[in-house]
């Protein structure tokens, strides 16, 4: 998501300029599609039955103006630092600090969910119950943290390759499942009532994350005006095929809908043996890359928060070190504590997903408000933000008590800022640029 998260696309933002539509599509797909595609459709189907397709469709439709908004922001402010940087420009340092805290302290709550997703597949392949799930998640978090401690990152090219393997593998799974599909299973459409579509949509909110990754890439496109829309449209098609196709398969293929490892269950309908190990290997490999990218991006964000005063100065680490070790340790501890609570109290991954989704929705709402203040009024990007904001606000309201997470983080962020700055405005934002009053910026841009 932003300075606040290093997507696989972000890892290549220092590459040589000249990205075309094909390369841009690969990078954007890598930013949007992750380990969640292996599990989230099944969670949505459990919530709403066949009506989960409505939730998937609604979020795909919402993705269009959301992607267009961040593409417009990235094109207009290519040196911006992502969502928090846009918020700093539009609404000042105070709101940008809250936005940064939402991501830095909100997202690590969900990092164990990535490991547990992979753990579900490993457990389905080798057995061992909840111990296998938790051990897999612990091992993946430790591996990602160790890689970052040594200053090693999976390169953007490898991230894209991993995403390519994931996409190709899932398309093969969907093709294999076509003969087993029973479309009579699409009725009744809403066995749990239409109200169940809302919680299904909340589970799928992770589908929305990643569209702002294009803000870091627009300066690298040979022809942004032509190629960014093409890359965005192609990515929407890929995401629609994967999320929509998996959701449809889980509903129409007998058996897999309630499986904790849905892709394994789908493969089991077509392959006599070996499907579980294949799916487990796929889940582990993709999760390693995703968890590495999350920890790396969050560690960098924390270090920058320390340098700019948006977080404890201690987070900045040693000025002569290129590795944000202190910030990385904070993020890793947060993830481990979250995993420990899951293991101790038997929480489901769905709770972690919804806690993280509440903070992510808050970040997007702040970014869209910033877009309405920064982009020229009535431009296509401005209209895209105007269309996106109401449904994002509705998703936030539907989060219920999970909103306590971003609310508590906002209070903590403002309290920290007051104690460390005495309430005075921080002069330099996350972008390294002075905060600029939003309305003047937007007015002069017309």
Supply the CATH number for residue 41's domain.
Answer: 1.20.1740.10
- Tell me what pLDDT residue 145 has: 86
Question: Would the pLDDT of 134 be above 80?
Answer: yes
Is 3 domain-assigned?
no
Give which of 7, 26, 9 is closest to 230, Cα–Cα.
26
Among the residues of 178-274, which ranges form H helices? 197-203, 224-239, 245-252, 262-268
Question: Would the pLDDT of 80 be above 50?
Answer: no
- Tell me what pLDDT residue 428 has: 40
- Tell me what pLDDT residue 320 has: 64
pLDDT tens for each residue of 388-406:
999 999 988 888 888 999 9
Give which of 203, 208, 159, 295 is closest to 32, Cα–Cα.
208
Is 49 domain-assigned?
yes
Is 114 domain-assigned?
yes
pLDDT band per the 50, 70, 90 thresholds, residue 153: low
- Tell me what pLDDT residue 408 has: 94
- Tell me what pLDDT residue 374 has: 93
What residues are paired with 428 via a beta bridge?
Answer: 434
Is 4 domain-assigned?
no
pLDDT band per the 50, 70, 90 thresholds, residue 310: confident
- Tell me what pLDDT residue 436 has: 36
> Could you tell me the two tokens for 331?
């993020």
pLDDT band per the 50, 70, 90 thresholds, residue 152: low
Selected residue with higher pLDDT from 107 and 332: 332
Question: Would the pLDDT of 63 be above 60?
Answer: yes
Selected residue with higher pLDDT from 128 and 271: 128
Decide if 37 contacts 352 (C-beta within 8 A).
Answer: no
pLDDT tens for each residue of 207-237:
777 676 555 556 566 777 777 778 778 888 8
- Tell me what pLDDT residue 182 has: 87
> Could you tell me the two tokens for 101?
């805290």
Residue range 70-87: average pLDDT? 74
Residue range 105-110: average pLDDT? 83
CA-CA distance, 123 to 283, in Å (whole number)?
Answer: 12
Residue 65: domain span: 10-441
> Could you tell me the two tokens for 30?
């890598």
Residue found by looking up tokens 């509440």 in the block: 358
437 Cβ neighbours under 8 A, 6+ residues apart: 92
Selected residue with higher pLDDT from 160 and 60: 60
Residue range 413-442: average pLDDT? 55
- Tell me what pLDDT residue 258 has: 57
pLDDT band per the 50, 70, 90 thresholds, residue 321: low
pLDDT band per the 50, 70, 90 thresholds, residue 1: very low
The length of the chain is: 446
pLDDT tens for each residue of 372-385:
999 999 898 899 99
> How many domains are contained in the chain?
1
- Tell me what pLDDT residue 212 has: 64
pLDDT band per the 50, 70, 90 thresholds, residue 156: low
Question: Would the pLDDT of 438 be above 70?
Answer: no
Residue range 241-246: average pLDDT? 90
Residue range 8-22: average pLDDT? 51
- Tell me what pLDDT residue 98 has: 93
- Tell me what pLDDT residue 319 has: 67
Question: Would the pLDDT of 76 be above 70?
Answer: yes
Decide if 136 contacts 120 (C-beta within 8 A).
Answer: no
Instruction: Name the pTM for this structure.
Output: 0.77
Output DSSP code: residue 283: H
Residue range 398-427: average pLDDT? 81
Residue range 265-275: average pLDDT? 74
- Tell me what pLDDT residue 265 has: 80
Decide if 33 contacts 15 (C-beta within 8 A).
Answer: no
Is 2 domain-assigned?
no
Residue found by looking up tokens 């000249």 in the block: 18
Give which of 13, 35, 279 is closest to 144, Cα–Cα.
35
pLDDT tens for each residue of 283-301:
888 888 778 777 877 888 8
Question: Would the pLDDT of 440 be above 70?
Answer: no
pLDDT band per the 50, 70, 90 thresholds, residue 167: confident
Question: Would the pLDDT of 163 be above 80?
Answer: no
User: Does 113 sit behind a cis peptide bond, omega within 30 degrees of 0 on the bond before it?
Assistant: no
Question: Would the pLDDT of 13 be above 80?
Answer: no
> Which of the given ranges, 77-81, 228-232, 408-412, has the highest pLDDT on average?
408-412
What residues are paired with 19 via a beta bridge?
Answer: 221
Q: For all residues of the chain together, what is the average pLDDT? A: 79
Determine the 3-state secondary structure of 210 from DSSP: coil
């Amino acid at each position: 998501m932003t300075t606040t998260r290093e997507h696989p696309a972000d890892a290549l933002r220092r590459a040589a300029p000249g990205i075309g539509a094909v390369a841009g599509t690969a990078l954007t797909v890598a930013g949007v599609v992750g380990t969640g595609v292996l599990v989230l459709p099944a969670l949505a189907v459990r919530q709403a039955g066949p009506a989960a397709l409505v939730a998937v469709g609604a979020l795909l439709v919402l993705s269009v103006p959301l992607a267009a908004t961040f593409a417009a922001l990235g094109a207009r402010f290519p040196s911006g630092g992502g969502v928090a940087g846009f918020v700093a420009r539009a609404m000042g340092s105070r709101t940008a600090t809250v936005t940064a805290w939402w991501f830095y302290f909100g997202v690590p709550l969900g990092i164990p969910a990535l490991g547990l997703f992979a753990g579900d597949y490993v457990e389905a392949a080798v057995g061992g119950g909840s111990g296998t799930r938790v051990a897999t998640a612990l091992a993946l978090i430790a591996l990602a943290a160790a890689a970052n401690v040594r200053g090693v990152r999976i390169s953007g090219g490898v991230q894209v390759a991993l995403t390519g393997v994931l996409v190709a593998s899932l398309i093969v799974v969907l093709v294999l499942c076509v003969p087993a599909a029973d479309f009579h299973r699409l009725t009744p459409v809403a066995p749990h009532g239409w109200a169940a579509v809302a919680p299904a949509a909340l589970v799928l909110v992770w589908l929305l994350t990643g569209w702002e990754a294009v803000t870091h890439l627009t300066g690298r496109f040979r022809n942004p005006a032509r190629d960014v829309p093409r890359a965005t449209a192609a990515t929407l098609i890929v995401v629609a095929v994967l999320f929509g196709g998996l959701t449809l398969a889980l509903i129409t293929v007998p058996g897999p809908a309630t499986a904790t490892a849905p892709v394994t269950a789908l493969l089991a309908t077509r392959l006599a043996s070996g499907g579980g190990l294949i799916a487990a290997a796929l889940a582990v490999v993709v999760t390693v890359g995703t968890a590495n990218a999350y920890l790396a991006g969050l560690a960098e964000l924390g270090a920058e928060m320390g340098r700019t005063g948006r977080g404890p100065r201690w987070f900045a680490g040693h000025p002569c070190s290129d590795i944000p070790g202190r910030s990385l340790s904070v993020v890793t501890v947060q993830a481990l504590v979250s995993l420990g609570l899951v293991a101790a109290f038997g929480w489901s991954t769905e709770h972690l997903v919804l806690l993280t989704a509440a903070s992510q929705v808050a970040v997007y709402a702040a970014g869209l408000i910033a877009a309405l203040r920064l982009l020229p009024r009535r431009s296509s990007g401005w209209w895209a933000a105007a269309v996106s904001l109401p449904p994002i606000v509705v998703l936030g309201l539907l989060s219920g008590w999970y909103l306590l997470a971003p609310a508590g983080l906002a209070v903590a962020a403002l309290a920290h800022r007051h104690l460390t700055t005495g309430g005075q405005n921080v002069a330099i934002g996350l972008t390294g640029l002075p905060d600029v009053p939003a309305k003047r910026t937007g007015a002069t841009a017309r």
